[in-house]
Amino acid sequence: MTALACQAFDRSEYASRLMTRITALASIALKGNSNHFDDILFSVKPHVGQQNVAKRIQHDLNHVEHPRNSDRLQDRYSIRCAPHVIGVLEDSLPWLRNMIENELNSANDNPIIDGIGEHVLHGGHFYGGHIAMAMDSMKNCVANLADLADRQIATMVDVKMNNGLPSNLSAASSERHFINHGFKAIQIGCSAWTAEALKLTMPASVFSRSTECHNQDKVSMGTIAARDCLRILQLTEQVLAATLLAAVQGVRIRILNNEIDASALNPEITAMIDDVASFFDLLEEDRPTDMILRQTIEYIQTQRWALYQTS
């Protein structure tokens, strides 16, 4: 269970940073209000992880150099409250790491042999309660990233909410727009993956079962918690991959329509858009997208993009 927890920690840390970058891209695509991430605003809400998320988005949006005041006073929660959602995971990562590392460097066997004092000590160090708690907590935070990204892509495809983007983010020409579906099926997929991720957040640690004639009458369920967490991470990475492609599609459409000045974009944002565009052609005519989604998930899991390395 501790080995799985180490894997989960690495993936969740990266997912937090990627979701931060996706939020910035989604804000640009939706022509959002960059003031939602202002450092003065977050100075009165001093959760350090949350502040770091807001600072990263503010940096991505070039808020200080080019503040964007949209025609909306307030963006929807999935944009405006993104630092508050991602920040829960960011602020949890240090104590999750401490708990996992402490367990990793501790004795977990029974009995414990004291060679110096010649004692054989029988105890319960095999009990994985700390890992179970860490994984049950982590999977809640990670699933909330999936839920956040799912709301963002739902906003970007909906003409009632996307501030002038085409329906389903289709870049098809005007005469063929009504026979192309763009990101419609992908957004439906995100909803399904998110639903499964959220369902798996039920804490495993409270479902202890008694075995071995009630000798093993209270167990941690830590391995199930860790496995659930990895499954939630897989589902979340699928949602992040889809939302990343959607956000980049939205930004590119804005640029093509001369609604965004590409030269005013943050260089790191520009580099990421260019990189995604190198393997994902603008979705104009409908085409199969399963392989490009799998490829993007692989890029996420191999941490293709170096994100906020100095923050």
- We report the CATH number of the domain holding residue 127 as 1.20.200.10
Global pTM value: 0.94
Count up the domains in the chain and report the number: 1
User: Of all residues in the chain, what percent are helix, strand and coil, respectively (each to 5)?
Assistant: 65, 5, 35
- Residue the block writes with tokens 């999977």: 139
Task: Tell me, yes or no, whether 115 lies in a domain.
Answer: no
Answer yes or no: is 309 within a domain: no
Residue 311 resides in a domain: no
The DSSP H or E segment spanning 114 is: strand 112-114
Distance CA 143, CA 199 (A): 9
In a domain, 43, yes or no: yes
Q: Does residue 61 sit within a domain?
A: yes
Residue 244 lies in a domain: yes
Residue-by-residue pLDDT tens, the chain, 311 positions:
999 999 999 999 999 999 999 999 999 999 999 999 999 999 999 999 999 999 999 999 987 555 666 677 899 999 999 999 999 999 999 999 999 999 999 999 999 999 999 999 999 999 999 999 999 999 999 999 999 999 999 999 999 999 999 999 999 988 888 889 999 999 999 999 999 999 999 999 999 999 999 988 899 999 999 999 999 999 999 999 999 999 999 999 999 999 999 999 999 999 999 999 999 999 999 999 999 999 999 999 999 999 997 54
Omega cis (within 30) before 67: no
Give me the domain span that covers residue 138: 2-108+120-209+218-301
Q: How far is CA 248 from the centre of its chain?
A: 16
Distance CA 159, CA 274 (A): 26
Rounded Cα distance between 289 and 117, Å, is 65
In a domain, 113, yes or no: no
Token look-up 């005007």 returns: 174
Q: What are phi and psi of 111, to 5 degrees?
A: -80, 170
63-71, Cβ contacts within 8 angstroms, sequence gap of 24 or more: 63/34, 63/35, 63/37, 63/38, 66/264, 67/34, 67/35, 68/31, 68/32, 68/33, 68/34, 69/33, 69/34, 69/35, 70/31, 70/32, 70/33, 70/163, 71/31, 71/163
Domain annotation covers residue 83: yes
